[in-house]
Amino acid sequence: MFISYFDDKRVTENAINGNIKKLAAYRAEIAASATAGTTTVPEYSLYHCKEFALHEELAALKKQFKGVTHVVLVGIGGSSLGLEAIHSVLDTGAVKLSVLDTVSAARIDAVIKSVVAEKKVSRIAVCVISKSGGTTETIANAAVLLDALKEVYGAAIYGQTIFIGNPGTELLKYGKKQGAHIFTMPEVIGGRYSVATMVGLVPLTLLGHDVDEFIEGYLDAGEERFESLVAESAARIAVYHKLKYHHYNFFAFEPRLEQVGKWYRQLFAESLGKEVDLAGKTLIHAMVPTVSTPVELHSTGQLYMSGVPDTVTDFVTFDDEIIDVKIARGNKMAAALNGYTMQEVATALYGGVVGAYQEKQLPYRATIFEESLPYSLGLFMAMRLREVMYVAKILNVDAFNQPNVELYKTKTKEILSL
């Protein structure tokens, strides 16, 4: 993992170091919890996947669901974004993933049709994920999906279904009654921090990805060389926040990283976007995260490169050396590009953009994945989870709550007379 920074003049070494100092006690606290294996703090998400029992459960799962060719995930937000992020990078087409997140009649109709086309129930795995067991979207989607599949495949569909959530929810009890598989996640770990619990690891296993490599990378984020980088990045983001930068642009320079950006956007927005800090003080500023891809060089690029005030860019990319194609010598349409490979052109675009940012003095950080992709994704996600906790600590906000989404949920329930 290669990480570099380019700051504008307003960000001083002093300010960064000052923030790093503010983190000292918290860093020691997390390190102690990790060593002790403390299961009662929300930071447990950073080392929960050390648990041996979890690995055994996943190995058993892998064996049992060997013939699966289509995984349907029913979940939303913290229950789906992490898994989608990893799958969209690692997807080789071997196992199909369908996700039912928000409520859309057209979408569920299409998913049911494609699952029915699998013909054999042993090819299907359905994961129903709701931490609380009470997410309206997930319950509506799961009810309609499972009813439709039961009509085709009979009760056998429950043998291919897995319910995941906090221990003891009504949803899990219901699943157990139907004979479905039940996996629990630790209650203390919030949804947006749950990618390396059963929430992410069960569907990743069903999809055939290298979960061991992912976990190895994930746990390596706790090592000193990575942890100190995280502290530096967090200190920097907190400086930008204090200087009232308004926009945080996650620039997925490899299009397959766009979903990783959406996962990070959730993590960042939900953890840091609060009305009041821990001292009860009203916050009048927030950085709003957005996600870009190289397509935006031909669209929002104009805006970002105009130096729109107070935007920080977060370039993330990887070298794709497994697949490459050369532009043939002698091709007259692309005569000037003859002999280059697609990867070389992509790298030149990346270099061109980074060069333009430097010349225009626009602040950014750049991350390039260099090791195996499952390992890099694990490392990257764990570093970002830790980072957002660190930023919250410096800003004195609660990284783990989300008080403002309750209002729309209440109003929705009023409309439905629930």
**Which residues within the stretch 150-209 sit at the binding site for a second copy (CB under 8 A)?**
171, 174, 191-192
- State the minimum distance, in angstroms, from the CB of residue 110 to a second copy: 8
User: Containing H/E element for 290?
Assistant: strand 288-292
* Nearer Cβ to a second copy (9/332): 332
Cβ partners under 8 Å of residue 325, min gap 6: 341, 342
* Binding-residue pattern over the window 111 to 140 for a second copy, x denoting contact by CB under 8 A: ------------------------xxx-xx
- State the minimum distance, in angstroms, from the CB of residue 210 to a second copy: 18
Residue with tokens 């929300």: 42
- State the minimum distance, in angstroms, from the CB of residue 100 to a second copy: 10
Q: Choose, by CB under 8 A, the member of 53, 94, 117, 418 that binds a second copy.
A: 418
Q: Choose, by CB under 8 A, the member of 352, 361, 370, 396 that binds a second copy.
A: 352
User: Containing H/E element for 250?
Assistant: strand 247-252
| Binding of a second copy by 242 (CB under 8 A) | no
* Nearer Cβ to a second copy (53/105): 105
| Binding of a second copy by 349 (CB under 8 A) | yes
Nearest to 72 by CA among 135, 120, 127: 127
* Nearer Cβ to a second copy (115/297): 297
* Nearer Cβ to a second copy (45/266): 266
| Binding of a second copy by 408 (CB under 8 A) | yes
| Binding of a second copy by 285 (CB under 8 A) | yes
- Strand-pairing partners, residue 201, are none
* Nearer Cβ to a second copy (163/226): 163
Q: How far apart are CA 380 and CA 357, in angstroms?
A: 23
| Binding of a second copy by 361 (CB under 8 A) | no
| Binding of a second copy by 13 (CB under 8 A) | no
Q: Choose, by CB under 8 A, the member of 9, 63, 66, 332 that binds a second copy.
A: 332
| Binding of a second copy by 41 (CB under 8 A) | no
CB 158 within 8 A of CB 180: yes
- State the minimum distance, in angstroms, from the CB of residue 58 to a second copy: 25
Distances (CA, A) of 313 to 5, 40, 253: 10, 35, 11
Only segment of 37-45, 223-231, 316-324, 374-382 that touches a second copy (CB under 8 A): 316-324
Give me the amino acid identity at 333: M
- Strand-pairing partners, residue 312, are 248
Size of the site for a second copy (CB under 8 A): 115
Q: Look up residue 145 and give its two tokens.
A: 């999906």
Only segment of 40-48, 225-233, 253-261, 379-387 that touches a second copy (CB under 8 A): 253-261
Distance between start and end Cα atoms, the chain = 48
Only segment of 217-225, 227-235, 347-355, 379-387 that touches a second copy (CB under 8 A): 347-355
Only segment of 18-26, 57-65, 372-380, 408-416 that touches a second copy (CB under 8 A): 408-416
* Nearer Cβ to a second copy (228/302): 302
* Long-range pairs of 140-145 with CB within 8 A, sequence gap ≥ 24: 140/103, 141/74, 141/100, 141/101, 141/103, 141/108, 142/74, 142/100, 144/108, 144/112, 145/72, 145/74, 145/100, 145/108, 145/111, 145/112, 145/115
Q: Choose, by CB under 8 A, the member of 7, 43, 101, 220 that binds a second copy.
A: 101
CB 169 within 8 A of CB 133: yes
- Give ∠ CA 177-180-185 in degrees, rounded to 5: 100
Q: How far apart are CA 200 and CA 197, in angstroms?
A: 6
Q: Look up residue 263 and give its two tokens.
A: 């996962």
* Nearer Cβ to a second copy (279/323): 323
CB 198 within 8 A of CB 185: yes
| Binding of a second copy by 273 (CB under 8 A) | yes
| Binding of a second copy by 353 (CB under 8 A) | yes
Only segment of 36-44, 51-59, 343-351, 370-378 that touches a second copy (CB under 8 A): 343-351
- State the minimum distance, in angstroms, from the CB of residue 291 to a second copy: 8
CB 114 within 8 A of CB 77: no
Nearest to 138 by CA among 111, 190, 87, 103: 103
Only segment of 58-66, 152-160, 222-230, 267-275 that touches a second copy (CB under 8 A): 267-275
Q: Choose, by CB under 8 A, the member of 107, 132, 159, 277 that binds a second copy.
A: 107
Length of the chain equals 418
